[in-house]
Chains A and B, each alone.
Chain A
Amino acid sequence: MKDKIRIRIKGRLNEKWKDWFDGMDIIEDGDDTILYGNIKDEAFLHGILNKIRDLNLELLSLNPDETNN
C-alpha cells in the first residue's frame, strides 16, 4: 500500500504541524486543510487518523489521490 492519500479536515492548520503528522504535506484549501502524502501501510494511516481524533480535529473526507490516474 504505497498510495498517496488526501485527508480533508475542517479549519486551517499551519505548516508547523507537518512533523506531527509524520511528514505529510499540509495544504490550505479555503477554510479547510488537506493532509497529503504517502501512506506507508495500514498502521501508518490509523496512526494519522488517531492523531486527528486526539486533537479533536474534524475529519471531513478521506480519499485516495486520483490526480495520478
Chain B
Amino acid sequence: MLLTKLHIPPTSQNIVPRPELYEKLNNGLTRKLILISAPAGFGKTTLLSDWISQQNIPTAWFSVDKADNDPVEFLSYIISGIQNIHKEFGESALRLLKSPNRPTCESITDLLINEILNIKENFLLVLDDFHLIIDRDILELVSYLLEHISGNIHIVILTRSDPTLPVARLRSQNQLVELRLTDLSFSASDISILFNKKLKLGLSVDDIYSLETKTEGWIAGLQLTALSMQGREHISEFIQFLKGDNRYIMDYLMEEVLKIQSDEIKEFLLQTSILEQMSAPLCNSLLNRNDSQIILETLEMNNMFVIPLDDERNWYRYHHLFAELLRQRLQLRDKDVINALHNKACEWFEQNNMNEMAIGHSLEIKNYKKCIQLLGREAEDMWQNGKHTAILKYGSMLPDELIKTNTEFCLYYSWILISSGQNQKAEPFLESAELNIKKIIHGGNLTKDNIQYHRKLLGKISVAFAYLKSNEEHSGDIYDYCRTAMENLSDDDPFWYSWAWFSYGIAYFSNGSLLESSTSFNKAFEYSKKSGNIYLISTIAIRMAENEQQLGHYKSAFNKCSDLLAIMKDKGFSEIAKAEWTYAALFLIMGITEFMWADLDRGYEHIKIAYDLSKKGKDIYLRIFILMVYTVMLREIDEVESEMKSIELEDLMKQTDTHSFLTTMYFGWKIHSFLEKGQIEQANTYVSEYGLDLDKNKSYSNESAYAAYANLLLAQSKLDEAELLLSELYVLADEGNRVEKMIGLKIAYAILYKKKSNHEKAVANLIEAMEMAAGENLLYYFLMYRHLTDDLLKEIFRVQAVTKTKIPQKFFDDLKAALERWNKHKKTNVGIDLSSRELDTLKLIAQDLSNQEVADKLFISLNTVKTHLKNIYSKLEVDNRAKAVTRAKELRIV
C-alpha cells in the first residue's frame, strides 16, 4: 500500500481565495455527495484541500490511480484512509479483504456502512481522480455506498468526467452539491489577484481581460503563463501575442516555460517525467546526480507543478497534465532514452523493495522477462493479500509460454483462475508448474532448506490440482493429488493443509461416502481454524453441517451451524453472515432442522433469511432448493404466500437446465403439492409425463420420486401396487441405512394398513417410525401426514399411557404439543386454494384483459378460461370479475 496516496495534498502559498466556492462547499456538509467535475488543470484538488484546511474537517483522502481498478484495492485504501482519522475503523473488514479467499465486496461494504454509523462526528471521504476508475464493480459499490451511508459522512468526488453514478437521483433528493467548469474557472478578478496581488507582475486591466479571453479562465494555463513571464521585460506584448495565436495553448506555453529553464533543469524535468512518483534518491540514481532534493524543493517553490506527496518532502509527483506534456516532448526527442530510464527506475524500485512499482516500469517497456521474475517473487504475497485482480491482469498481459517458466506465478495465477471458474485456462499452467518443480526436486543438488521449500511448493500445486478437480464432475485422481499434498505439506501451512483435507472431503461426499467425508471435513475444519481465515472456516463448517444432515444427524448439523455463527460473532463478522449469499446454506440447514423439530417460528425466520440471501447469489440450484423448503413450510403458515413462492419456483425451474438430483426433488415437491390440493388427476398426468414406471429400476438417485409416487397410489387406494412399491423402496433405503427415508416409508406403510383395515399393523408401523425418529426428534414427518394418521396417533398416545414403548416420553409430549400448535395455525389461515393456472388467470384479469386475451396469453382455450374463472369465483366467494379482483387485492394475491 502506498501511503502517499492517502496524503492530503498541501496548499501552496499563492492560493487565490474563492469565497463563493467555499460557500457552495459548505452546503455540501449537509449532503451525501460533493461532485467536482472539470477537466485537468482547473484547480479541483487545490480548491478542496484549501477548503478542508480552512474548515478543519476530518478527512479521509484517497488519490486514485489506474491500478486501483480492483474492488479489493479500492476498499482497502478507503478503509486505511478512514483509519487515519478513526484508528479502529474497519479492522475486521480489512482482514477479510486481505486474504486469499473472502466474501463478496458488497458484504464487506455492508460491514463498513455499519461501522460508519458508529462514528459520531462529520467527516469527508475524498476520492481524487475518480475518472481513472472504470471497473464496474467499484462503480456499483460506490453507488451502493452513496445510497446507504448515514448523514455524518460526505463523499467528495473529484473527476475529469462525470462518473457513472446515480447523480440525478441524489440531485433530486437534494443530496448533491456540484462544482463544474464554470464555477471553477478564474474570473478576471481572480486573474488579477493571482498576477498582481500574489505574483506582483503588475498587469494592466487590458492584459487581464486578454488573458481571461485567451485562457477561458483555465488555471493551469494561467499558471504556465505566469511561469513563462518570469524574467521577461515586455509582458504586455507577450500577452497580446498570445491572444492572437491559435496554437494549442498548453503546448505553446510549455515551450515558453522550458525555454527559460537552464539545460540542467530542462533535462531533469524531461527525464523524471516517466515517473509516477519520485524521490530524491530515485532521481539521483536515474540521472547520476546527487542534488535532486534541492532541485525538487526549488521546483516546488517556483510553482513548477510539483506536488509533495508527504509531509517530509520525501516523495513528489508532477501535476498530471504537466507530466503528460513533458513526456510527449521526451518521446519526441529520444525514444531509446525512455527504455533506459524505465530500466533504471525498475532496478531502483526493486533494490528498494517496492516490487509493484518495479513491475509497473518493466511492463511499461515490455520487459516481460524482468516482469515475470519480479512477479514470481511477489505472487505469494499478492495472493495472500487478496490482490487477485492484479494477478489476473498481469497473467493476461504476459505471454503464456513465459508464465509457464515461473512455477510460483503459475501456481497462484491458476488458483485465482480456478476460483473464478476458468478451469480450462488454469490447467496448463498448473501442469507446467508441476513439471518444473518435479524437475528441480529430482535434479538433486539442492540444499536442505531448498528441498523443503520446493516440496512445499509441490504440495501446494497438488492442492490446487485437487481444487481444480473438485469442480469437475468426474474426479478420479483427486485422491492422488490430496495424498501428494499431505505428504509434502504440514500443519505449518494451515491454509493449504486444510484445503487438502477439504478437497478429500468433497471427493468422498460426491461419491456418497458420507462417513469418510465427515472425517475429512472435521480435519479440514481443525486446520482452517489455525489458519484464521474466516471464509475458509465458514465454507468448511457449512459443508460439514450439510454432511451431518445428509447422515440424518440433525442435532450435530444444527450445532455446527450455531457454533459457526458464534465464531463469526466473536470475531466481529456477524454482519457478513447476514449479508453474504454463501451463508444461505447455513440458514437453510438451521431452518430445515427447526422445521423438523416442529419449531415453525424459528424455522420460518431462518428459511426466510436463507431465501433472501439466495436471491443475491448466482447459485440457482440452491435457490430452487430453498424455495422448495420455503413453500412447504409456508403451507403451514400462509397459504397465499406459499402459492406465490410456488409460482416463483416453477418459473425458475423452467429457466434451469435439468439437474438430476434437483429434478427428482422437484418431482416429489410437485406430487406433494397436487396431493395437498386433492388434484389426483393432475398428479397422474404428471407422473406419466415424467416417465415413472413401476416396472423400472429403482435406485438411490430416483427413490424420492418413487416415494412420492407411492403416496399418490395410496391416495387413490391402489393398495397392491403401493405395497409392492413400498417394499422395494424400503429394502433400498435399509441397505443404504438412510434412516429418514425409512421413517417416511414406515409412515406410508401405516397409512396403507389403515386403508386395508389392518389396524394393528398400522399402529405398529407408525410406532416403528417414531422409534427411528425419536433420537433426532424428527417430529415433522408425523405432522406432515397428521390428517391421514390422526386416529392412529391418538391410539398410540393412549397405548403409551398404559404400556411403555421404546420411545421416550418427551418425544410424545413434544409431538402432542406440536400437533395442537400446528392445527391451530392452520385454522387461522384464509383457506384459499387457487391452482397456479387459476392464479395466472386471476393476475391477468386484474390487468383488465378480456377472456380471449387471457386465453391467448396462457395458451389455453376460451372454455378453460371460463372454467378457471368459475373456480376462482367460488373459491373467493364472489360472483363477478370486478369483485374477484377486489377480493384478490385484499388478500394480496395479485
**Chain A interface residues toward B at CB < 8 A:** 11-14, 16-17, 19-20, 31, 33, 53-57
Chain B residues closer than 8 Å to A56, beta-carbon distance = 39-41, 218, 220, 250, 321
B248 to chain A: which residues have CB within 8 Å? Answer: 11-14, 33, 55, 57
Known: A11-B247, A56-B39. 6 other contacts (CB 8 A): A11-B248, A14-B251, A53-B131, A53-B161, A55-B40, A56-B321
- Residue from the list B131, B246, B324, B332 in contact with A55, Cβ < 8 A: B324
Q: For A12, what are the chain B residues with a Cβ–Cβ distance below 8 Å? A: 246-248
| CB-CB nearest in chain B for A33 | B248
Task: Report B322-353 residues with CB < 8 Å from chain A CB.
Answer: 324-325, 328, 331-332
Cβ–Cβ contact A19 & B160, under 8 A = no
Q: Which residues of B contact A54 (CB under 8 A)?
A: 40, 160, 320-321, 324
30 A-B pairs (CB sep. < 8 Å): A11-B246, A11-B248, A11-B249, A12-B246, A12-B247, A12-B248, A13-B247, A13-B251, A14-B247, A16-B328, A16-B332, A20-B328, A31-B246, A33-B248, A53-B39, A53-B40, A53-B161, A54-B40, A54-B160, A54-B320, A55-B40, A55-B248, A55-B250, A55-B325, A56-B39, A56-B41, A56-B218, A56-B220, A56-B250, A56-B321
Contacts of A53 in B (CB 8 A): 39-40, 131, 160-161
A55 to B323, CA, bound (A): 10
Q: Given the complex, which residues of A lie within 8 Å of B247, measured CB to CB?
A: 11-14
User: Chain B's interface: helix, strand, loop or mixed, by majority?
Assistant: helix
> B249 to A19, Cβ gap below 8 A?
no
Of the candidates A12, A16, A54, A56, the one having the most CB atoms from chain B within 10 angstroms of its own CB is: A56
Question: How many residues on B have C-beta within 8 angstroms of the other chain's C-beta atoms?
Answer: 21
Bound: A20/B335 CA distance, A: 12
Which residues of the partner chain A approach B246 to less than 8 Å between Cβ atoms?
11-12, 31
In the complex, chain B residues whose CB is within 8 Å of the CB of A16: 328, 332
Query: In the bound complex, what is the Cα–Cα distance between A11 and B40 (angstroms)?
Result: 17
Task: Return A62 CB to nearest CB of chain B, in Å.
Answer: 15
Q: B220 contacts which chain A residues (CB < 8 A)?
A: 56
C-alpha spacing A13/B321, complex, angstroms? 16
> How close is B224's CB to chain A, nearest CB, in angstroms?
11
* Neighbouring A residues of B251 by C-beta, 8 Å: 13-14, 17
Contact A19 B40, CB 8 Å, known A11-B246, A14-B251, A31-B246: no
Is the CB–CB distance between A19 and B321 below 8 Å? no
In whole angstroms, how far apart are the Cα atoms of A20 and B321 in the complex?
A: 14
Q: How far in angstroms is the closest Cβ of chain A from B647?
A: 41
Chain A residue with Cβ nearest B220: A56
CB distance from A17 to the nearest CB of B (A): 7
C-alpha spacing A33/B246, complex, angstroms: 10
Q: How far is the CB of A9 from chain B (nearest CB, A)?
A: 8
**Chain B residues within an 8 Å CB radius of A20:** 328, 331
Taking CB as reference atom, which chain B residue is nearest A52? B39
B198-242 CB mask vs A (1 if < 8 Å, else 0) is: 000000000000000000001010000000000000000000000
What separation, in Å, do the CA atoms of A53 and B160 have in the docked complex? 8
Q: In the complex, which residue of chain B has the Cβ closest to the Cβ of A56?
A: B39
